[in-house]
Amino acid sequence: MNKNEFMESLREKLAGLDAEDREDAINYYWEYFEEAGFGEESDVTKNVGNPEDVAAKIIEAAEYVKSETDTKDAEKAENTTYEQKNDNVLPVTNDNKVYSNEEKLLGNTALSVLNTDNQDAFDSIDIDLSSLDVIIRTGDEFGVYLNCKENEPIIERVNNRLIIKDRRKGSFVKFNFNFNMFNKGKEFVEITIPRNKELTEIKSITEMGKLSLFAITADLLNLEADMGALELVGVSAANSRIEADMGHISVKNGKFERLDISNDTGAVNIAGLEAGYARVSTDTGYISLENAKIGNSELSSDTGYIKVTNGEIAKLSADTDTGLIKLNRVDAGYIDANSDTGSINVKLMGTKEDYSLDLSNDLGVIIVDGKNGGNSIFNNSYREISGDRRVRLSVDTGKINVDFLGR
């Protein structure tokens, strides 16, 4: 089956998918075939499998990864006045008591603010929830706000640690089946932290809810999600571990000493990152890294492409079993990229004389600065020692292309 036949069949089998997701998948495979240099009559199924299996994987992943929430809704939630969303607020006070809705209706109707005069209301946060969305952001004071009609959680403070958890963890949780589980209008709990407050730790385990952090500073982040999204915007932390089983992970304008991200099924989008060390891995899902300044980075994906754009990285490692690796406008001292099945396309800042190149592939062409750098399409290698910057690229099946953008 050639690439045109494959794409026609794939589009047909993805007809029931959301239009945007469908076009993303179609564009991904068109780009893959173009970068890999498949001819008009080449049998592409030898490399990517038949369109039925490919479509099934895409649809399966999409059913779980739809938890990605656009930032407009997050901004809308952030800008909503608390007076407008307080019908189900559970006040948490400095006496560690959580008021019930009945008590609130009897007179405890103040916003759920934790002792606004006390800048040490809590130093850390521990969350363990099944279905609620969670928003943690900076504000004028400590606060906990709950918009919830079902599955009302326990909210308490113990030894300067804010704890929010399901009432009976492991028991049956009542879900509202009148809304899509990926609906952006779900019930939520919102936590506000004074702008000058640095937390010691945020620990969160969520199952089907979205966790969003806005402009938070913490020493340690330990975040896990089963089938929900994780979103970090303007977050600073010394050490961070972020994991998802089936969901989308997004990090924007973050500063980390050490950042460790893993996602089993779903995408990882990172933009505006500053980090001493960053490790990002996916089993099935792409990795996108833009406008990053990193000391040492390790990127890996079993099935999915890796894309780095506008990166200033001292040492970059990228590995994929099946998928493209694209490095565009990358300024790096050392690059080591490997792909079993998929092309590597690199556009480097600087001139050819700045780099020493070690390129090899088993099946495919090697192009360096617009010129064929190999002798054939089998067992190719290209080595040139020139500058101090080192680039090592290795592909089993696929094309290697290296361009230099100048200083």
Q: Is 394 part of any domain? A: no
Select from 88, 172, 101, 161 the least CA-distant residue to 130. 172
Q: Is 274 part of any domain? A: no
Collapsed DSSP state (helix, strand, coil) of residue 252 = strand
Distances (CA, A) of 90 to 19, 94, 244: 40, 13, 29
Domain range spanning residue 202? Answer: 69-234
Q: Is 374 part of any domain? A: no
* pLDDT tens for the chain, residues 1 to 407: 888 888 889 888 888 887 777 777 787 777 767 666 667 777 878 767 788 888 887 777 666 455 444 443 444 444 443 333 333 333 443 333 333 333 332 222 223 434 444 555 899 999 999 888 999 999 888 888 888 776 678 888 888 899 999 875 443 333 332 222 333 346 889 999 999 899 999 999 998 889 999 999 999 999 999 888 999 999 999 999 999 998 899 999 999 999 999 999 888 999 999 999 999 999 988 999 999 999 999 999 998 899 999 999 999 999 999 889 999 999 999 999 999 988 999 999 999 999 999 999 988 889 999 888 766 666 688 999 999 999 999 999 889 999 999 87
Domain count, the chain: 2
In this structure, the strands spanning 366-368 and 371-372 are: antiparallel
> Are residue 80 and residue 223 in the same domain, yes or no?
yes
> Are residue 79 and residue 98 in the same domain, yes or no?
yes
Where a domain ends, among 47, 65, 83? 65
Q: Is 327 part of any domain? A: no
pLDDT at position 246 is: 86
Distance of alpha carbon 73 from the chain centroid = 18
Collapsed DSSP state (helix, strand, coil) of residue 324 = coil
Q: Is 388 part of any domain? A: no
Q: Is 397 part of any domain? A: no
> Are residue 113 and residue 37 in the same domain, yes or no?
no
> Are residue 142 and residue 187 in the same domain, yes or no?
yes
Q: Is 391 part of any domain? A: no
> Are residue 88 and residue 193 in the same domain, yes or no?
yes
DSSP H or E run through 62: helix 51-65
Where a domain ends, among 48, 65, 82? 65
pLDDT at position 238 is: 97
pLDDT at position 109 is: 26
Select from 330, 218, 232, 237 the least CA-distant residue to 275. 237
Helix axes 51-65, 3-13, angle to 10 degrees: 40
Q: Is 122 part of any domain? A: yes
> Are residue 97 and residue 126 in the same domain, yes or no?
yes
> Are residue 30 and residue 73 in the same domain, yes or no?
no
> Are residue 38 and residue 73 in the same domain, yes or no?
no
> Are residue 9 and residue 135 in the same domain, yes or no?
no
> Are residue 23 and residue 156 in the same domain, yes or no?
no
Where a domain ends, among 213, 234, 255? 234
Distances (CA, A) of 128 to 92, 167, 251, 274: 17, 10, 21, 29
- Would you list the DSSP string of 8-26? HHHHHHTTTS-HHHHHHHH
Quick one: residue 19, left, alpha or beta (phi over 0 = left, psi -120 to 50 = alpha)? alpha
> Are residue 199 and residue 150 in the same domain, yes or no?
yes
What dihedral angle (degrees, nearest 10) is formed by the CA atoms of 76, 77, 82, 83?
60
Phi/psi for 65 (5° steps) reads -95, 0
> Are residue 77 and residue 51 in the same domain, yes or no?
no
DSSP H or E run through 36: helix 19-36
pLDDT at position 378 is: 67
Tally of CA atoms within 13 A in the half-sphere of 249 that contains its CB: 29
Q: Which residue's structure tokens are 């010691």?
A: 200
